[in-house]
Amino acid sequence: MIFHTYAGEVKALDGIDLKMRKGEFFGLVGESGCGKSVTALCISRLLPENAEILDGQIMLKGEDLLRKTNNEMREVRMKRIAMVFQDPMTFLNPVLTIGQQIAEVYLLEPKGLSKEYAEKKIQELNGKLKTLSEEEPEYNKLKKHIEGYETILASGGSLPKKGLKEAAWELTVDVLRMVRLADPERIAKQYPHELSGGMRQRAMIAMALARNPDIFIADEITTALDVTVQAQILALLKELRKEIGASILIITHDLGIVAQICDRVAVMYAGNIVELAEVKEIFRNPLHPYTQGLIKAIPPLEREVEALDSIPGSVPDLIYPPPGCRFHPRCAYAFDACKQYKPPLIEAAPSHFVECFLYGGLRNE
Binding interface with other proteins (CB under 8 A): 44, 46, 74-79, 81, 83, 85, 87, 90-96, 104-105, 108-109, 191, 193, 207
Distance of closest approach, residue 73 Cβ to other proteins, in angstroms: 8
Closest to other proteins by CB, 31 or 104: 104
Count how many residues are written for the chain.
Answer: 365
What does each C-alpha distance from 134 to 127, 129, 138, 186, 322 come to in angstroms? Answer: 14, 9, 9, 22, 68
SS3 112: coil
Determine how β-strand 215-219 pairs with β-strand 81-84.
parallel
Closest to other proteins by CB, 37 or 291: 37
Closest to other proteins by CB, 178 or 345: 178
Distance of closest approach, residue 118 Cβ to other proteins, in angstroms: 19
In angstroms, the CA 148 to CA 171 distance is: 6
Residue 120: phi and psi, rounded to 5, are -60, -45
Distance of closest approach, residue 343 Cβ to other proteins, in angstroms: 34
SS3 147: helix
Closest to other proteins by CB, 125 or 249: 249
Count other C-beta atoms under 10 Å from residue 178's C-beta.
21
Closest to other proteins by CB, 62 or 94: 94
Note whether 206 and 97 are within 8 A (CB). Answer: no
Distance of closest approach, residue 269 Cβ to other proteins, in angstroms: 25
SS3 27: strand
In angstroms, the CA 329 to CA 341 distance is: 13
Distance of closest approach, residue 274 Cβ to other proteins, in angstroms: 27
Distance of closest approach, residue 50 Cβ to other proteins, in angstroms: 13
Closest to other proteins by CB, 81 or 265: 81
Closest to other proteins by CB, 87 or 166: 87
Distance of closest approach, residue 76 Cβ to other proteins, in angstroms: 7
Distance from first CA to last CA of the chain, Å, rounded?
A: 26
Distance of closest approach, residue 176 Cβ to other proteins, in angstroms: 16
Distance of closest approach, residue 300 Cβ to other proteins, in angstroms: 37
Closest to other proteins by CB, 66 or 231: 66
248 class by beta-carbon count within 10 Å (0-12 exposed, 13-18 middle, 19+ buried): buried
Closest to other proteins by CB, 49 or 135: 49
Helices 98-107 and 197-209 pack at an angle, to 10 degrees, of 10
Backbone dihedral region for residue 115 (phi beyond 0: left; psi -120 to 50: alpha; all else: beta): alpha
Helices 227-243 and 197-209 pack at an angle, to 10 degrees, of 20
Please list, residue by residue across 268-295, b when 16 or more beta carbons sit within 10 angstroms of its beta carbon and e when fewer do.
bbbbbbbbbbbbebbeeebbbbbbbbbe
Q: Which residues neighbour 45 within 8 Å (Cβ) at sequence distance 6 or greater?
A: 65, 66, 73
